[in-house]
Amino acid sequence: MFSRRSANRASSTTPLAGGCLSLFGLPFLAAGLFMSYLYFSGYVNWCKSQSWVEVPCQIETVESKNTGESSTETKATYRYRYEGKDYQGNRVSSASGADNVGSFQYDAYRELSGYQGKSKQFRCFVDTAHPAKSVLYRTLRWPLQAFMAIFVLTFPAVGAGLVVGGLLAIRETKKQALLQTQYPGEPWYWKPGWAALAIDEDASQSRTWLLAYTAWSAVVISPLLLTMLLSHSFTEPVAFAVLIFPALWCVPAWFALRRIRQFLGIGSVRFVPKASPTAPGGVLRGDLVFARPLPSRATVALDIFCEKSIITRDSDGSSTATEKLWSHRETISSDRMTHDLTGYRLPVQFTIPADAPESRAADTDGPKFAWKIQFQVPATAIKSTFEIPVFRTGAPGEAPVVATAAPLMAEIPSGQLGPLLVAQHIAATFNSAGSPESIICSPRRYLGAIVFLVIFSTIWSGVCLLILHQHAPLIFRVVFPGVGVICWVIALRMALFKRTVTFTGTGLEILNRLGPVSWSYVFPKDRIVAFSHDSNMRSGNTTYHRVRLESVLGKKQTLVDGITGADLAAALVTRLEAWKTPEHSSALKNR
């Protein structure tokens, strides 16, 4: 259970952290807004200049001014005559200021220098409404706009996220502090969602941010593509690198579209528990409440699981590792849904293991334990998650605390081990005795990591194209593409690699496939010393575990990888040991 001391410490430090977060985000937000102004101004100036008329002009002075490391600005003064009046201009292009994006500054200086102080005239474009306004070049500098788009897509979002996120954290902490005062010693009321009669969807704020960022990205990317089409910029092959922006935009747009489709389909979703909290060893009962009905005769998958999160802090900062300790799935038909004045209700009922850990916040001492319910309708966009309170209240009739050498949550029967592995795209079959028969590791087990690598590699490839286009120093033109090739090779290998392990009475065979290429290893039982598991990779907050065998020669060979729970990997090792050792198998069957 939460300790009062830990809760008070968290309540006092979180407002300060939220305030610092907001202050830290202000420079990003200010820089992002300034870059956004320059970015959109470039399109406005380009559009305006397209209606200006072309008139001859006399170039008087031209200079190339260095304003920083490799940043130059071409400056010029020129005279022109319009409707009988003489004017002097000094605007070279619609985008003012120095930069090192592309070769525009160099090309403009070289061309204008050929007209300086000579009788040969150049041309300029004059605003007919205001003849004093003119420009020498009105072409769209799409490399500069694309370069600024990178900052416009990131800085405002990061800055706004930090500022608003910090303010929301302060508000949430104040609400939690008030609830702690109202309900001392009752942590199941300390979260604003738990204190209400209904629990809202988990991470609803992040989904709102996703919709907002998707819309902002569309506003940023659309004028870039439209103006490049109107100015025929795609006649340059390197201009197709800009298509990276809409390709990346499809990622948040896909998730946002799923969210919109769910809202249009069933409206808002809440979980209404019959009683709160639910104690370990007790039965969780409640209703999922929808504003509109679920699809008729649809199969609804209901999952309950416990996540363990550990925050590690060091000199480089902090990191969070999350693993799923226990989970259980049930499927019911949407025909069980009822209707009343509050909406459409779907009943939910789960039994919590007697030795289950209680809910525990991340800002308290030790690891965080979070209990969540997730419901989804397969083959649709409908999917929601709710965090629920699981606490021992000491009420009469509660199941006693179970103290066992081997926790019940860690003992995964063979009947449940297979479905749990299948949920992670690892197809495992076991015989009636619980021994493995075959294990197939699909590339989809690393789907999250593959998507991240593809997105990262795509962005990196776009940067490489710009570096090559800008004629950067040789080391950059070698190192950056080299890193990009390595990232694509890793992503391609993860997407194509498949492993199949087949078990017999005498040994096992490992068949690895990488696209059309395959190779295999055979290990007799008497050549296997032991099985073990460890963590071998981490992507975001997810830690991946693997199961390996060790042969008599000391060689370790991976059998299964991509498992996101240490307890699940340990349970698989137990089954493998039972297969290898008959005595272990008999003890496992009698337990």
Q: Which of 360-369, 413-422, 551-560 has the highest mean pLDDT?
A: 551-560
Rounded Cα gap, residues 391 and 343, in angstroms: 29
Instruction: Report the DSSP beta bridge partners of residue 551.
Output: 528
Rounded Cα gap, residues 227 and 204, in angstroms: 36
* Confidence label for 582 from pLDDT (cuts 50, 70 and 90): low
Average pLDDT over residues 334-356: 90
Predicted local distance difference test score (pLDDT) of residue 587 = 46
Average pLDDT over residues 463-479: 75
Q: Indicate the SS3 state at residue 431.
A: coil
List, in order, residues 6 or more apart from 35 with CB less than 8 Å away: 148, 151, 152, 155, 156
Tokens 């009822």: give the residue: 338
Helix axes 474-496, 447-469, angle to 10 degrees: 160
Asked if 436 and 503 touch (Cβ cutoff 8 Å), the reply is yes
Q: ω into residue 516 within 30 of 0, thus cis? A: no
Predicted local distance difference test score (pLDDT) of residue 270 = 92
* Confidence label for 557 from pLDDT (cuts 50, 70 and 90): very high
Asked if 445 and 426 touch (Cβ cutoff 8 Å), the reply is yes
* Confidence label for 360 from pLDDT (cuts 50, 70 and 90): confident
Tokens 């525990």: give the residue: 360
Give CA 418 to chain center in angstroms.
Answer: 28
pLDDT tens column, 25-64: 899 899 999 999 999 999 999 999 999 999 999 999 999 9
Q: What angle do CA 264, 444, 437 make, to 5 degrees?
A: 125
More confident residue, 511 or 329: 511
pLDDT tens column, 514-550: 989 999 999 999 999 989 888 777 765 567 889 999 9
Which has the minimum average pLDDT: 172-181, 226-235, 275-284, 467-476? 467-476
- Residue 137's alpha-carbon distances to 50, 101, 134, 363, in angstroms, are 11, 16, 9, 58
Helix axes 566-580, 414-422, angle to 10 degrees: 130
Query: Is 60 exceeded by the pLDDT of residue 403?
Result: no
Tokens 């399109």: give the residue: 43
More confident residue, 579 or 394: 579
- What is the phi/psi pair of residue 87, to 5°? -135, 155
pLDDT tens column, 406-429: 444 545 655 678 888 888 889 988
Start-to-end CA distance of the chain, whole Å, equals 31
Predicted local distance difference test score (pLDDT) of residue 540 = 58
Rounded Cα gap, residues 283 and 267, in angstroms: 28
Q: Indicate the SS3 state at residue 517.
A: strand
Which has the minimum average pLDDT: 58-67, 87-96, 338-347, 360-369? 360-369
Q: Indicate the SS3 state at residue 354.
A: coil
Predicted local distance difference test score (pLDDT) of residue 371 = 93
The two structure tokens encoding residue 345: 């209700």
* Confidence label for 98 from pLDDT (cuts 50, 70 and 90): confident
CA torsion sign for 439, 440, 443, 445 is negative
Tokens 């290429």: give the residue: 517
Query: Is 50 exceeded by the pLDDT of residue 333?
Result: yes
Tokens 């076991």: give the residue: 430
Architecture label for domain 268-393: Sandwich (2.60)
pLDDT tens column, 263-313: 999 998 999 999 889 999 899 999 999 999 999 888 999 989 888 887 766
Q: What angle do CA 448, 483, 35 make, to 5 degrees?
A: 80
Query: Is 60 exceeded by the pLDDT of residue 580?
Result: yes
Predicted local distance difference test score (pLDDT) of residue 63 = 93
Average pLDDT over residues 155-184: 87
Rounded Cα gap, residues 128 and 134, in angstroms: 9
Predicted local distance difference test score (pLDDT) of residue 6 = 45
Mode of pairing for the β-strands spanning 199-200 and 134-135: unpaired
Q: What is the SS3 string spanning 534-581?
A: EEEEEECCEEEEEEEEEECCCCEEEEEEEECCHHHHHHHHHHHHHHHC
Rounded Cα gap, residues 177 and 518, in angstroms: 59
Which has the minimum average pLDDT: 104-108, 147-151, 282-286, 311-315? 311-315
Q: Indicate the SS3 state at residue 419.
A: helix
Predicted local distance difference test score (pLDDT) of residue 406 = 41
